[in-house]
Structure 1
Amino acid sequence: MTTTLITGANKGLGHETARRLVEAGHTVYVGARDPERGRRAAAELGARFVQLDVTDDASVEAAAKAVEADGGLDVLVNNAGIEWREPDGSVPGPGELTADALRTVFDTNVFGVVRVTHAFLPLLRRSDAPVIVNVSSGLASLAKTTTPGTPHAGYPGVAYPTSKTAVNMITVKYAAAFPEMRINAVEPGYTATDLNQHAGHQTVEEGAEIIVRMAQIGPDGPTGTYTDAKGPLPW
């Protein structure tokens, strides 16, 4: 039985990924900051709940101990992510971005990935087929962002794309350091979730496809890649 932990799994892409992996036979931990929402989501999905705030060391360490006590971990999906929005719903561009805004986004999107991965590495290294999926974004692509006329080049925000570019580098470095693991970054696509105020044109079912696929790869699968549902993306 494959045991999987998904951060930020009480809603959106994380919730749909959990649903699909439970359906595929995984034992799934729904990681969520809010115990009430997390427990409710886990009950709906037939999954297990673990309280997990990726920005809090004590919370992450407690979650790792709880999962270890239950038997260990095979797959980690670093899904939790945020974007900084102003009161009017806009994202700050270069002229408006503050260090505090960037720090807040990085605390979840970047430091959270490292914090959770570090805590669960000992468990993953005991698995026969350890997998880490880091949920990135097409906005992380420097190649696309520097191509005039693309939606990536036109995106006004700085904090979120910058954080996901950092996630891509983290993915590459971890994959090189742990060749026995399958560690990949994925781009779900522009999916309608709370992150973008449900402006995305994809459903969560469509967006979760690549996350679910990469969460199920075997020991001979790819590692150190950056892909969407159609294939490799330019860094």
Structure 2
Amino acid sequence: MIHFPVLRTRRLTVRMKELAMIDAIALAAIPPHLNEEAATAFLRAAVDEAQGVANPEDWTVQERTMAICHYMASTLDDGPDFSLAGGQANFSDYLMGEQDYPGDRVEVGRIEGDSWEARHLTGALAGAIERLQGELPGIDGAAHWRVGRMAAQLIPNGQAVPAEGDVDAALLERMRVIAQYPESVFVQLLGAFETACRQLDHLFLMDADEHGLMALPREDSAAAKPPARFPAGTCITELARYLGGKPAPAGP
């Protein structure tokens, strides 16, 4: 049995346990493009107890990444500061341990007569963005993730996309509205959104490309480092991947 130190952040106290083989096989069977679905499945199986916020889908994507990395730090062969990107970087090049959860929302300002706020991207909202790939004609890849994050995190006049119920339908409708904005309004809103995201940053600098969420290197990193992902599938053995019908991944 592997021992995991208790993970503590400003909002969470998490005790983790080693994956059962049946959970590892199930994780291996999840298609590789469904990173958020895999993260949720992993956390539900690997979290023994969570205090503060119980449901991993209600954790921010930064908190979810932190928990996955905490498991990696205890299980990967190269130890707590494990290597990434084929040895080009290490975990410490991305973790901002001194910068934790700053608060629930930040004010964005007034744009086109509406009052806007921004909130964190949770696992539930990120999972909805992932599931909605291809549902909005003309919006795909990196554009889908950009519009999806704006729709999920921006709150006009106090009307947030709900984090429970039919999240997918509500998010898709909000994405349609944002994608229909005049270009000048969209550019203004995007700039304000990106500024708000920097105010909400904690634990990791998160961004997204056509493949989904990724962590950017710390701004004080000594040299240029590539963006990194911490896929939950990295946490399982090659045997589990084989039994789940998957080849070994390239690594985090």
Q: Same fold (TM over 0.5)?
A: no
Which of 1 and 2 has higher RCO (CA within 8 Å, sep 6+)? 2
The alignment's TM-score, normalised by the length of structure 1, stands at: 0.27
Larger Rg: 2
